[in-house]
Amino acid sequence: MHKKIHLKILSIRLLKLFFLQFQMYDLYLNIVTVIPLVLFLNMSILIFVSLKYEFDILRFLPSSFVYYSMVQAQRFLNLLDIYDSIMSYQASNIKIPTILPENSFLFLGDSFFTFWSTLYHDFKPYKINAINGGFGGATTHNIIQNIEKFKRKNWECVVLSIGDNDYFINNNIRGFSQNIERIAKEFSCMVYVLILPVKPSYTKQYINERQIEFGNLSKTKLSNIKIFDLTYLSIEKRDYFKDGIHIRTTRKQRLAMNIYRDLFFNKHCLHNLESRS
């Protein structure tokens, strides 16, 4: 449902975002905050096209500009109270078979799965029927909001990759582990939570908070949650798009092998994350 926002309220929210960002970033990055909302959205569209069609049309722009333009667009939409509606719309468009084939895995999360265009074919050699449940921009909150779309299925298991957007929008991921538990409670099957390698765009704050939250999650009393640490994987900067967030599909094809091996041989399953620090 689209919301009609009064011009006065919109102006107040735009000013609120400007002053918020003024406190958070240095002068160079503050230039981004005064660019009209239209530019942020257009940049997001260019990023989307670049990711979807594997054509890096933003390769000549500074990585920091591409990254912060995308994040600012997300924060604008969130402050305008329409971000969750957009995420719900995306979730509603995900196609899930009415009758699931045998050995169906739900790959649930954000754009890590959304733009994995070869997901089904990459897992097919392992006799896994991979269903892509990713919707770009999703937070743990958005997964919870739209959980009805995914839970009423007889899944073999759920593979979950989520968290980046929680940080991008809120500048922290406090409560992340509790949200993961809320998601897992909605499924009767195992929920495998992936810890992806540190990306070029990650801040020190995010890396530290992520370690704390996954440490909390590793102590969960829920029997259907397992954490898989993929940070041992070596993913070069060239394997990412210009935003420093999204991994190229060619590298994800090798990731499929790593994920399969870890899921079935439990090589990097974490029962206690702190024991590895």
Which residue ranges form the domains of the chain, and what is each CATH number? 7-81 (no CATH), 95-276 (3.40.50.1110)
pLDDT computed for residue 49 by the predictor = 57
Determine contact, residues 44/4, Cβ cutoff 8 Å.
Answer: no
Q: Model pTM? A: 0.79
3-class DSSP assignment, residue 164: helix
**What are the residues facing 228 on neighbouring strands?**
194, 269
- Tokens 């908070």 appear where? 209
pLDDT computed for residue 80 by the predictor = 75
Distance CA 181, CA 198 (A): 23
Determine contact, residues 184/191, Cβ cutoff 8 Å.
Answer: yes
Cα angle vertex 109, ends 103, 111, to 5°?
Answer: 115
Distance CA 120, CA 178 (A): 30
| Burial class (CB within 10 angstroms; exposed 0-12, middle 13-18, buried 19+) of 55 | exposed
Q: Could you give the residue ranges of the DSSP H alpha helices within 190-229?
A: 204-217
Determine contact, residues 273/214, Cβ cutoff 8 Å.
Answer: yes
pLDDT computed for residue 53 by the predictor = 56
pLDDT computed for residue 128 by the predictor = 93
Which distant-in-sequence residues (6+ apart) come within 8 Å of 137 by Cβ?
Answer: 74, 83, 86, 87, 90, 110, 111, 165
Distance CA 35, CA 134 (A): 30
What is the DSSP code string of 33-90? Answer: HTS-HHHHHHHHHHHHHHHHTT--TTTTS-HHHHHHHHHHHHHHHHHTT-HHHHHHHH
pLDDT mean by block of 10 residues, the chain; 277 residues: 46 51 45 51 59 61 76 81 89 92 94 91 93 95 96 90 94 94 96 93 93 94 93 88 82 88 65 37
